[in-house]
Structure formats: C-alpha cells, structure tokens
C-alpha cells in the first residue's frame, strides 16, 4: 500500500478529470493537498470533496499555469500553509483542436505550447526551487501516450507532450543526487468530460474509438490516480526519469 501520511503537496488541473481523481486519491492516502485549477470554483469543489467525503486536508486556489506569477503564488501558498512541498502532480493541460499539421494556426500552436509545455516548465521550476534546498520531493507530470508515439491529426499536442517527456528526463537527471525524483504518467484515452460529450453526441464514434483500444475500453481517471499516488510515494523510490504508460496497451500498437 502506498501511504502519504505526513506529506504535503499540490495538484494542478484538479478541478476535474485526472487531476481531481489524483487529488482525492492522494488525500485518501493521507496527504494534505493544495488543489489548483484555472477554474477556481471547480478547484474548491474538489477540495470540499476531500474535506468531506474523503475526510482529508485540502485547500484550493485559482492558478493559471501559463502565467509565471500565478505559478509562483501557487507554490508559495503551499509552502506558507504546509511549511514544505513533498510532492507535486503537474496535471493541468489542454488537448486543443485536431488538424493536419499544415492546417494549424500559429495562434493555436502558441496556445497549446504555452499551457502544456511552458506551463509544466514553470511549475517544475518553481517546485524545484523549494525541493532542492529540502533535498527531497517527488514530481509527477501528466504527459501522454502521445509522448511515446505519434498520433495523426494531433501534431501540436503530441509535440507539447514530447516536450514534457524531455523536461521530465532532464530534471530527473539533474536532481537524482539531491533526493528528488521526477517522473511522468502517460495516460491513454481516458473517460473524462470530453469523451462523455462524444458519447452523448456521437455514440457511433465513441464506440469506434473504444474498439481500437487493445483492452476494448477506455481508461478511468481513478486508474491514472493510482499510478500518480505510487509515483509520489516512497513505494516507487527507485523510479526517476520514467515515462509510465497507463494506456491499456495503446502505445504498444
């Protein structure tokens, strides 16, 4: 069993989906969690769930990970409230619209990279500024199965998540002798709000996409949360610099 008793940290993009599931699961394992999201109300709803249903310790704040000042304020708030930063799950990101590479606008490219890649960089940098003096900590980035293989009509998202993979590996190497581990979890197609809308509006496409999965089903946010918990905990003490695929076999095809 992975335990997080006496650990303090944060989860970004925790107002819904994978981030919400991870924040709740970490709290159930004993961690105190700062829940952040660009939607402050959604972040508070997750924190309220932790405090009530999960019986855990959590507070929330609105954070825009593409904004340097917002990210610095997030990490400072965590340290002010808890006194340290033991773990961070950098989960916030966007998919964007899907096009052939030749049809992407520069504005869409800039938007996806600003959130997925620059945002992850800003979070990691701020977190490491706290963890390095502590000489301890675990960072888990949400990369993607698209960090491992390419996907047609998804060029910019794929590029951003390959970038997250690179940041993860370099940060892991730079900090391996400082007691800090840095890994990424790589989800496949997960049943979150976007897919639920596809199921409602285009059930044929929903079933077709599911049939392409080797396990013939979509993943659940809670399944990714279990991997995040393990990577944040001491149970994965030998893991650093790894891209952990949790995708039902999609990246092996």
| Residues labelled as active-site residues | 157
What is the bridge-based pairing of β-strands 137-142 and 243-246?
unpaired
Nearest residue to 120 (alpha-carbon basis) of 39, 33, 183: 183
DSSP state of 3: -
> E-assigned strands of the chain?
8-11, 32-37, 57-62, 87-90, 137-142, 180-187, 243-246
| CB-count burial class (<10 Å; 0-12, 13-18, 19+) for 247 | buried
Element (H, E) at 168: helix 155-175
Name which of 146, 144, 145 is nearest 155 in CA terms.
146
Phi, then psi, of 191 in degrees rounded to 5: -80, 85
- Give the E-state strand segments of 18-68 in sequence order: 32-37, 57-62
CA dist., res. 188 & res. 170, Å (int)? 23
Alpha-carbon distance of 142 to 103, in angstroms, equals: 26
Let me know: does 187 contact 247? Beta carbons within 8 Å.
Answer: yes
């Amino acid at each position: 069993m992975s335990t997080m008793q006496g650990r303090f940290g944060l989860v970004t993009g925790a107002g819904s989906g994978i981030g919400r599931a991870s924040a709740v699961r970490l709290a159930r394992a004993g961690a105190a969690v700062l829940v952040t999201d660009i939607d402050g109300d959604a972040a508070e709803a997750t924190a309220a769930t932790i405090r009530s249903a999960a019986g855990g310790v959590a507070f929330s704040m609105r954070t825009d990970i593409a904004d340097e000042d917002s990210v610095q304020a997030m990490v400072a708030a965590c340290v002010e409230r808890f006194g340290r930063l033991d773990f961070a799950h950098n989960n916030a990101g966007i998919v964007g619209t899907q096009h052939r590479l030749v049809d992407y606008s520069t504005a869409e490219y800039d938007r996806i990279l600003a959130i997925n890649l620059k945002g992850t960089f800003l979070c990691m940098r701020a977190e490491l500024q706290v963890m390095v003096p502590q000489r301890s900590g675990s960072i888990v980035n949400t990369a993607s199965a698209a960090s491992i293989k390419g996907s047609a009509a998804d060029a910019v998202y794929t590029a951003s998540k390959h970038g997250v993979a690179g940041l993860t590996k370099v940060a892991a190497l730079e900090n391996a002798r400082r007691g800090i581990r840095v890994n990424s979890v790589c989800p496949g197609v997960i049943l979150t709000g976007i897919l639920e809308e596809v199921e409602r509006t285009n059930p044929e496409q929903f079933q077709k996409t599911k049939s392409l999965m080797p396990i013939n089903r979509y993943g659940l946010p809670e399944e990714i949360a279990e991997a995040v918990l393990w990577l944040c905990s001491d149970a994965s003490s030998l893991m650093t610099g790894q891209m952990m695929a949790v995708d039902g076999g999609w990246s092996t095809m």
